A and B are shown apart, each in its own frame.
Chain A
């Protein structure tokens, strides 16, 4: 059980108004990271529909108990048991997850009892979660704790991830989507203009730093921008930019280590070497600080920096006097980044879906724009 209460402040309606990631979805992605084969969502048929489909692209089976009005009134234990038994028959999972929703949790559904009655042959991660939590990371934390309880995650790794999730939460409150009452979505600066600006700087022989600080699998596309920038620099012949990336293959869950390995391999094939590994792919809330420290110590006289992924994780005080280019996949991240003082902010729209179910670097719009402009000039 979680020792952290998420119900410490009364919601007076004076908080954040824009819709934001849900705790249930955070639980689903965490189960995927834990390499759960099948996840059963115990809730209405449409709950988490979009993310379920995306996750299925990523190789995990997501099914729903499709609770209806009668299940709300009379409870849905039998339905859950049936879906659990059918899923086991169909998919033969080695690890099963059951996730609550607003509907099943409000009526007090007992997930554990249903699992006890079905007695699956494999371990089951039972996640009692609904979407009524202000920080979506709460869903991930509850899932990690449930995984420890199910005996499929060791306590030290759980503790490490919980620390990171709390850091991530603070980061979002400081300069992310949780930093303001309402943030209108924005497409950021025009990629053509930003790519032009970057190519001018490279041609002028200005010295650049590229920081890949990406959240998990999103690195598959942000890494393409690293590649494009290095390619352009080599092509121009004005020296190579410094590269930093949170692609350490020695930390985190096996799945994430594989992603880091895949991306490093792809970069290496293009002749690109990362100068500084800042940490693992799940360490983005803290690896920004590592990058910042490196910049302050060794590269403070550089001319420009390109921050890819979670740009606000790199402290502003380490970037003084350096022109900042940021690339995010969050349309609501543009305004906070501009207000922090980032000179250019680019949005790679719908990036996340393109990075699910892949094992190689995925082309990005900014990367392709850089390459095309460079070829044209």
Chain B
């Protein structure tokens, strides 16, 4: 059951590794919280750095770290307030190449649901899920009805688009609606047109085009979101618009993934 209670939003951000999911998630969270909404940001990446820019560069204990220590976990041990009151959570996970990060997400989400009600009470809950949906564990936020809609981050380059399309195969299989495609620009040729065509091909829409600007990296280095670190910048305004669009977006659809040829055709069309 997917519960769309009132105007609350539970979203998952997906996309190829390194494409900017965490930056986007934390900036959207900050922008939304600034307007007075209650926001929760749940980082599902074993790297545990989704919320770091909302916490002035501080690393918080992860759910799985505490579980590993055999601690009796309480809400205050794992839910930390960051910029503008955003509730930040990091799932954590194993070192690369060891154990099972997918199982980690499954277990951590179970723990989180037990210790806090914030997922139900927040106006916006964002799950930042790593990489492609590589195994069952990474699909848990969608399968358990925690995420009402997914947003896919991509650039106009072939590999991120290919990964995005793969994620849509997963969403389609899981019957999960796609809220839209967000282009995080890498300054590829005809990038906006390509990503828009791609989104439309999926039966969705391009909900934002985020230009590549140095301010984002500079703020990250300082342990800040651009909303906090450079509030008057143009890019901060773009994130605010995106947050606003997400909160007002009620047109999600289960995506229809493209086949490889269709995907290549979109890229070639704009050469």
Contact = CB atoms under 8 A, between A and B. Distances in A.
A75 B93 CA distance: 10
Interface stretch (A66-74, A146-154, A164-172): A66-74
Contacts of B95: 74-75
Contact of A107 (B67, B68, B100, B107): B100
Nearest to B92: A73
A213 B242 CA distance: 76
Nearest to A107: B100
B268 interface: no
Contact of B98 (A69, A74, A106): A74
B103 A70 contact: no
A320 B100 CA distance: 58
B64 interface: yes
Contacts of B101: 73
Interface string B103-117: 110010000000000
B223 interface: no
Given A69-B67, A70-B67, A75 B107 contact: no
Interface string A281-321: 00000000000000000000000000000000000000000
B201 interface: no
Contacts of B99: 71-75, 107
Contacts of B94: 73-75
Interface residues of B, number: 15
Interface in A67-92: 69-75, 77
Contacts of B103: 69, 72-73, 107
Contacts of B64: 70, 73-74
Contacts of B68: 70, 73-74
B261 to A, nearest CB: 27
Contacts of A75: 94-95, 98-99
Contacts of B70: 70
Interface in A4-50: none
Interface in B144-161: none
Nearest to A71: B99
A108 B97 CA distance: 8
A188 B20 CA distance: 67
Contacts of A106: 100
Nearest to B65: A74
A108 B94 CA distance: 13
A70 B62 CA distance: 13
Contacts of B104: 73-74
Interface string B58-73: 0000001001101000
A353 to B, nearest CB: 35
A31 B140 CA distance: 39
A69 B67 CA distance: 9
Interface in B25-56: none
Contacts of A69: 67, 103, 107
A194 B45 CA distance: 66
A77 B98 CA distance: 9
Interface in A324-363: none
A105 to B, nearest CB: 11
Contacts of B67: 69-70, 73
A107 B97 CA distance: 9
A108 B101 CA distance: 12
Contacts of B107: 69, 72-73
Interface in A109-148: none
A62 to B, nearest CB: 25
Interface string B69-102: 0100000000000000000000001110111110
Contacts of A72: 99-100, 103, 107
Contacts of A108: 97, 100
Contacts of A70: 64, 67-68, 70
Contacts of B97: 108
A70 B107 CA distance: 9
Given A75-B95, A108-B100, 19 more contacts: A70-B67, A70-B70, A72-B99, A72-B100, A72-B107, A73-B64, A73-B67, A73-B93, A73-B94, A73-B100, A73-B103, A73-B104, A74-B64, A74-B99, A75-B98, A77-B98, A106-B100, A107-B99, A107-B100
* Nearest 10 interchain pairs by C-beta: A75-B99, A75-B98, A73-B104, A107-B100, A74-B99, A74-B94, A70-B68, A72-B103, A73-B99, A73-B103
23 contacts: A69-B67, A69-B107, A70-B67, A72-B99, A72-B100, A72-B107, A73-B67, A73-B68, A73-B93, A73-B100, A73-B101, A73-B103, A73-B107, A74-B64, A74-B68, A74-B95, A74-B98, A75-B94, A75-B98, A106-B100, A107-B99, A107-B103, A108-B97
Interface of B: 64, 67-68, 70, 93-95, 97-101, 103-104, 107
